[in-house]
């Protein structure tokens, strides 16, 4: 009998952006077997897509409620153990809540929910059920992000004094200027996206990266958001000043109207002894700067990297790995947790990261709406 984790998927149909990333990641280390799901809200589309994946139609369901009730009737050896939630944002909470209530492990896309309260409710349920819950902040799975995190925690750059994170995209530029074009994306619809577009979609990634690599919590923030047009209710650009409890300060700049930008996520961390810089579009290079020595460029797969970084590399140095591998590493970490194997807490973003992301969004919106004031995040 297969010892693979039986995985179901909600969302991520053939029409989706992110579905293929999760399917390849789930298959990468032979830890999961995708057995079924609800890939689209339309049942015919759902079935047709499942057929292209070669899945058994008996486990393709019309909606997530049916998936849960039918799967719960199966013997525990057959039943889906984990479910990936890859739908538009507004469905994350109701889906994840019912999944947890029915004893499934959950892998959920970001932003975790549409409100901070909902995210706390999921955290409470996850703890009550002792479930494994991973939030797919994909970029945390890159070997050189893991290396950056480890080097900073080992003191390689001394005390952190400045952090500069940016996540710049330009894909909304062709959409934002004409009102009727805006409905072409659910991301600009508050009913589906939640209260934020830019912060929720990409600002949360940058915020998560900042707290992960520095190992520090953002204490307070001051945000200035831009909707570009008065009749657009959603932020499409956000400049956020951040302050940590030790007086280190920084910025998180995110935008979906940075014309021509693709997926320009970068994080620079400056400390008293040096600095580390990483960028998503060239993910296999980590730059180490200092006052006295020439610039050092670290790359994946070399023995000078930490164990957690090396665990995220499958091939000898010089074989570029990318976004699929980063997500694969997250799925691998979640699989270890589900199987009760030892795992490093840096292997996948836990539900707490999703909760922090929701607090970040709500506090940034509050700061902006109150005239760009400093607002404290929850402890």
Ligand X SMILES: NC(=O)c1ccc[n+]([C@@H]2O[C@H](COP(=O)([O-])OP(=O)(O)OC[C@H]3O[C@@H](n4cnc5c(N)ncnc54)[C@H](O)[C@@H]3O)[C@@H](O)[C@H]2O)c1
Positive or negative, the CA dihedral 185, 189, 191, 193 is: positive
Residue number with CB closer to ligand X (10 or 248): 10
Residue number with CB closer to ligand X (301 or 357): 357
Smallest distance from ligand X to CB 347, Å: 16
Size of the site for ligand X (CB under 6 A): 23
Q: Binding string to ligand X for residues 7 to 26, with x set by CB under 6 A, is what? A: ---xxxx-xxxx--------
Residue number with CB closer to ligand X (50 or 157): 50
Residue number with CB closer to ligand X (41 or 158): 41
Smallest distance from ligand X to CB 313, Å: 20
Residue number with CB closer to ligand X (136 or 239): 136
Instruction: Enumerate residues 74-93 that contact ligand X by CB under 6 A.
Output: 86-89, 91
Smallest distance from ligand X to CB 84, Å: 10
Residue number with CB closer to ligand X (201 or 325): 201
Determine the interface stretch with ligand X among 4-12, 233-241, 267-275, 314-322 (rule: CB under 6 A).
Answer: 4-12
Instruction: Enumerate residues 138-177 that contact ligand X by CB under 6 A.
Output: 138
Residue number with CB closer to ligand X (50 or 151): 50
- The yes or no reply on residue 201 touching ligand X (CB under 6 A) is yes
- Single out the residue of 5, 25, 35, 38 in contact with ligand X (rule: CB under 6 A): 38
Maximum distance among all Cα pairs of the chain, rounded to whole angstroms? 65
- Single out the residue of 114, 136, 149, 214 in contact with ligand X (rule: CB under 6 A): 136
Smallest distance from ligand X to CB 314, Å: 20
- The yes or no reply on residue 311 touching ligand X (CB under 6 A) is no
- The yes or no reply on residue 109 touching ligand X (CB under 6 A) is yes
Pairing of strands 375-376, 218-226: antiparallel
Residue number with CB closer to ligand X (88 or 158): 88
Contacts to ligand X by CB under 6 A? 10-13, 15-18, 38-41, 86-89, 91, 109-110, 136, 138, 186, 201
């Amino acid at each position: 009998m297969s010892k693979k984790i039986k995985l179901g998927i909600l969302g991520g149909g053939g029409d989706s952006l992110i579905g293929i990333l999760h399917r390849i990641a789930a298959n990468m280390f032979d830890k999961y077997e995708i057995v079924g799901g609800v890939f689209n809200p339309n049942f015919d589309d759902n079935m047709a897509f499942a057929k292209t994946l070669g899945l058994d139609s008996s486990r393709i369901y019309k909606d997530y409620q049916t998936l849960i009730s039918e799967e719960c009737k199966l013997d525990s050896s057959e039943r889906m153990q984990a479910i990936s939630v890859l739908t538009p944002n507004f469905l994350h909470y109701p889906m994840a809540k019912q999944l947890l209530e029915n004893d499934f492990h959950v892998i959920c896309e970001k932003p975790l929910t549409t409100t901070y309260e909902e995210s706390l409710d999921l955290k409470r349920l996850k703890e009550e059920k002792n479930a494994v819950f991973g939030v797919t902040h994909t970029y945390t799975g890159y070997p050189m992000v893991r290396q950056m995190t480890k080097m900073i925690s080992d003191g390689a750059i001394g005390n952190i004094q400045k952090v500069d994170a940016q996540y710049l995209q330009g894909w909304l530029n062709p959409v934002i200027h004409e009102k009727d074009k805006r409905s072409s994306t659910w991301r600009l619809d508050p009913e589906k996206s939640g209260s934020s577009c830019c912060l929720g979609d990409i600002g949360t990634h940058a915020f998560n990266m900042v707290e992960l690599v520095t190992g520090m919590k953002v204490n307070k923030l001051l945000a200035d958001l831009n909707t570009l047009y008065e009749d657009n209710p959603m932020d499409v650009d956000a400049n956020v000043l951040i302050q940590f409890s030790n007086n280190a300060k920084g910025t998180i700049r995110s935008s979906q109207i940075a014309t021509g930008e693709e997926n320009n996520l970068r994080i620079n961390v400056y400390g008293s002894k040096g600095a580390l810089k990483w960028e998503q579009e060239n993910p296999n290079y980590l730059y180490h700067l200092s006052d006295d020595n020439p610039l050092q460029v670290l790359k994946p797969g070399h023995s000078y990297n930490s164990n957690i970084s090396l665990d995220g590399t499958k091939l000898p140095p010089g074989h570029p790995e990318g976004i699929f591998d980063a997500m694969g590493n997250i799925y691998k970490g979640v699989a270890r947790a589900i199987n009760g194997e030892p795992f490093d807490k840096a292997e996948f973003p836990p539900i707490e990261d999703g909760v922090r992301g929701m607090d970040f969004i709500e506090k940034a919106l509050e700061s902006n709406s109150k005239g760009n004031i400093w607002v404290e995040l929850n402890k």
